[in-house]
Amino acid sequence: MKELFKKKKYIKLPIKTAVNGKEQYNDMSDPSVPTGKWIKCNNCGEIIYRDDFEAKDQICTKCHKHFRMDSESRISQIIDSGSFKELNTNMGTKNVLDFPEYLEKISSLQKKTGLKEAVVTGEGKINGIKVVIAVMDSRFMMGSMGEAVGEKVTRAIEHATDKKLPIIIFTASGGARMQEGIVSLMQMAKTSSALAKHSEAGLLYITVLTDPTTGGVTASFAMLGDIILAEPGTLIGFAGARVIEQTINQKLPEGFQKAEFLLEHGYIDMIVERRDMKNTLFKLLEFHQN
């Protein structure tokens, strides 16, 4: 009986359907399932229905992991509907070092993401309060900072200073852009200098660190906020953990570059859930106005 059971073959019957009035058969072994309807959490492995995922601000419904959010979704979540006016929309990248295939890579990403560069800047309102906002987008060369990104951030800061407005920057970056060498590193000083003038004018600067915030961005404008917020689980640091361990020849604490560790050790001021971010920013802005 066992041998017969092992040799037994099961036949998959086709499904008869009607298309344009004509009967046809579909093979059950190759069912038609709509693509893009499900997402797998890379933290806990949960399979999430995309509509639920979007409804919960791109957060895992099981482990509560905050997924990386694109700039358009972020602005829609934070800025009042219809109030956002983008700044410096046509500012693009130049291949200052004649790096091989760099502009081709930029062009490909522009078509894929619909962005000109790795940061979107503009003016808008948060519950009626005017602000300048800059949102970095990790889809575009991992949010790396080249000349165009540094210039857009600097001009956004200068615009906020001229208009006497607070500025909020959402960071998400792998650091300085290697294809632009020393030019990318110069953006650290340029953005920091603009922020110093903004501070001297008595204006508020809030940074929101999102996953990941690393390299030259961390070493410049990301950590210069009057108030520094972060999303849960955000990776924050300058160099990678392995590089640091190899340099100092010491074992580092578990999770030492996570937002929770940095909050405990006084590097950031608050960890804010994504669903609470707009209201938290509004309260900080309102408090500063008074």
Tell me if 88 sits within 8 A of 122, measured CB to CB: no
Query: For residues 255 and 216, what is the distance between their CA atoms, to the nearest angstrom?
Result: 21
Q: Check residue 156 and report its DSSP letter.
A: H
Give residue 28's identity as a one-letter amino acid code: M
Q: What is the mean pLDDT of residues 135-150?
A: 97
Q: What is residue 2's predicted lDDT score, i.e. its pLDDT?
A: 46
Tell me if 195 sits within 8 A of 166, measured CB to CB: no
State residue 220 phi and psi, 5-degree precision. -135, -110
32 pLDDT exceeds 90?
Answer: no
In the chain, the DSSP E strands lie at 15-19, 22-26, 38-40, 47-49, 85-86, 119-126, 129-136, 167-173, 205-213, 227-230, 270-271
Q: What is residue 119's predicted lDDT score, i.e. its pLDDT?
A: 98
CB contact burial 242-274 (16+ within 10 A = b; e otherwise) = eeeeeeeeeeeeeeebbbeebbeeeebbebbeb
Binding residues: 41, 44, 60, 63
Q: What is the mean pLDDT of residues 220-232?
A: 98
Q: What is residue 64's predicted lDDT score, i.e. its pLDDT?
A: 83
Binding residues for Zn(2+): 41, 44, 60, 63
193 pLDDT exceeds 60?
Answer: yes
Q: What is residue 43's predicted lDDT score, i.e. its pLDDT?
A: 84
Mean pLDDT of all residues belonging to the chain: 89
State residue 85 phi and psi, 5-degree precision. -125, 115
Q: What is the mean pLDDT of residues 279-286?
A: 98
Q: What is the mean pLDDT of residues 101-116?
A: 97
The model's pLDDT over 234-253, given as tens digits with 9 standing for 90+, comes to 999 999 888 998 999 988 88
